[in-house]
Amino acid sequence: MVQPDQPLTKIKLLNPTYPNKSTGLINGKSSGLLNWNDIAYPQMYDLYQTLLSNFWKAQEINMQDDIKQWDYLTEIEKDVFLRINTQLASLDSLQTPTMSHVMDYVTDSSFKAIFAVISQQEAVHNESYSYILSSLVPLREQNERFDQAKDDPIVRKRNQLILDSYDAFREKPTPQRLFELAINSINLEGIYFYAGFAFFYHLARQQKMLKTSTMISYIQRDEMQHAYFISQFIRILLTENPELNTEENIQFVYTTIDKAVQNEKEWANYILKDIDGIDLEEFHGYVEYLANKRLRQIGLDNYYEERENPMAWIHVFSDEMLNETKSDFFEQKSRTYTKVSSSNGFDEL
């Protein structure tokens, strides 16, 4: 039986007498050796493969088009662009070390491997913001912008919610705090990025700064897999450790996600207020819709009013837009089905 407040011990690298297939996500018996063919949750291998197939790097994206367009942005657009860039970079800066820190306390080697990949991807995201900045403004201004992000009271307030939880786990890594860290990780990856995403996709809708938004699209694609993984991690953690699956903790999820929702609305009101074409009321609805999705991913109920996606244009670019080709089941055999719709005599609900 797990004591929610009993600190987890840092795992030894190798425990040769234990099995390779871990007996638990935390406090499990595990040799430390990873054989992907013998793991407790085989679906984690698919997830790992998907994460790897998303691999990308900033340097592959040529910024020339954006460099030319930059001069044509309004002063307000430039200002918001740089503020959001450094603010997102500061979120990713927290995530890279935290994901690797968690690895020391998770006993299942397959989960450790996935945390390692997530940590690597967060490092790539971080670099991509630097790469964008280096294309557009001199180092002096980059540093000023980072200082601005560090000093901004709204950014600090947002980050504090996450920081408190991540630091608490650092100080005393208990199962309870690991659970809380995971929920805040969903806040960071699954909610806090979206005002920023909205801004960059909004520029993309006007054919502006498309190279930047290509990177943003890659980042969103990664973050969605991360939030999905963490939601699976939470579900398995609660299932394996019923002591954590309490009324209080379920309430904690609703309360904490609601804090992030309110912070994200506040941030949007502040950062997007002068951007024409983004309706802030609509964005508030969007954040609630988003939070409902995150809650359902964890297996909980909607907390906010049930609604359709009010800003459906905030989404990952398609392969066609990114000039990538699909290589799958449908490419191997020459299948040529015509796209059909309800006008062909069936119903699409």
Partner 1 sequence: MKAAIIYTSITGNTEALAEEIYQGMISKGIEVDFIPVDDLDYDMLPSYDVIAIGTYTWDNGDLPMEMEDLFTAFEEMDMKHVTTGVFGTGDSFYPYYCGAVNLFRDMLFVHTNLAVTLKVELTPQVSDSKRCEKFCDRLMGQLVTA
* Residues carrying an active site annotation: 129
Helix (H) or strand (E) holding 298: helix 280-298
Burial readout 226-262 (b: 16 or more C-beta within 10 A, e: otherwise): bbbbbbbbbebbbebbeebeeeebeeebeebbeebbe
Site for partner 1 in 286-305 (CB under 8 A): 293, 296-297, 299, 302
Q: Which two tokens stand for residue 92?
A: 């990713």
Nearer to partner 1, 75 or 347 (CB): 347
Residue 52 engages partner 1 in binding (rule: CB under 8 A)? no
Say whether residue 72 binds partner 1 (CB under 8 A). no
Kindly tell me which residue out of 30, 212, 232, 256 binds partner 1, with binding defined by CB under 8 A.
Answer: 232
Taking the complex as a whole, the smallest distance from the CB of residue 305 to partner 1 amounts, in Å, to 11
Residue 305, annotated as binding a ligand: no
The answer to whether 266 is annotated as binding is no
Smallest Cα–Cα separation from 173: which of 344, 346, 325, 5? 5
Three-state SS at 19: coil
Annotation-wise, does 202 bind a ligand?
no
Q: In angstroms, what is the minimal distance from the CB of 340 to partner 1?
A: 5
282 makes contact with partner 1 (CB under 8 A): no
Contact call for residue 10 and partner 1 (CB under 8 A): no
Residue closer to partner 1, measured from CB, 98 or 121: 121
Residue 288 marked as a ligand binder:
no
17 versus 43: smaller Cβ distance to partner 1: 43
Q: Residues 140-169, buried b or exposed e (16+ Cβ, 10 A)?
A: eebeebbeebeebeebeebbebbeebbebb
Q: Which of residues 152-171 bind partner 1 (CB under 8 A)?
A: none
Exactly one of 1, 17, 37, 53 binds partner 1 (CB under 8 A); that residue is 53
Q: Does 55 bind partner 1 (CB under 8 A)?
A: no
Do the annotations mark residue 92 as ligand-binding?
yes
Say if residue 122 carries a ligand binding annotation. Answer: yes
Which two three-digit tokens encode residue 61? 């994206």
Q: How far apart are CA 133 and CA 124, in angstroms?
A: 14
Residue 288's φ and ψ, nearest 5 degrees, are -70, -40
Region 311-340 residues binding partner 1, contact defined as CB under 8 A: 312, 314-319, 321, 326, 328-330, 335, 337-340
Task: Please tell me the distance from the alpha carbon of residue 192 to that of residue 267, in angstroms, as a whole number.
Answer: 9
In the block, tokens 């291998």 appear at 45
Q: Copy the structure tokens of residue 1.
A: 């039986």
Task: Give the whole-angstrom CA distance, residue 210 versus residue 218.
Answer: 12
The residue written with tokens 């699209």 in the block is: 217
3 state DSSP class of 268: helix
Cβ contact 115:106 at 8 Å:
yes
Is residue 309 within the footprint of partner 1 (CB under 8 A)? yes
- Tell the smallest beta-carbon distance from residue 109 to partner 1 (Å): 21
**Which is closer to partner 1, CB of 64 or CB of 343?**
343
Size of the site for partner 1 (CB under 8 A): 36
| Annotated binding-site ranges | 92, 122, 125, 189, 223, 226
| Annotated binding-site ranges for Fe cation | 92, 122, 125, 189, 223, 226
Write out the residues near partner 1 by the rule CB under 8 A.
43, 46, 50, 53, 220, 224, 232, 293, 296-297, 299, 302, 306, 309, 312, 314-319, 321, 326, 328-330, 335, 337-340, 344, 346-349
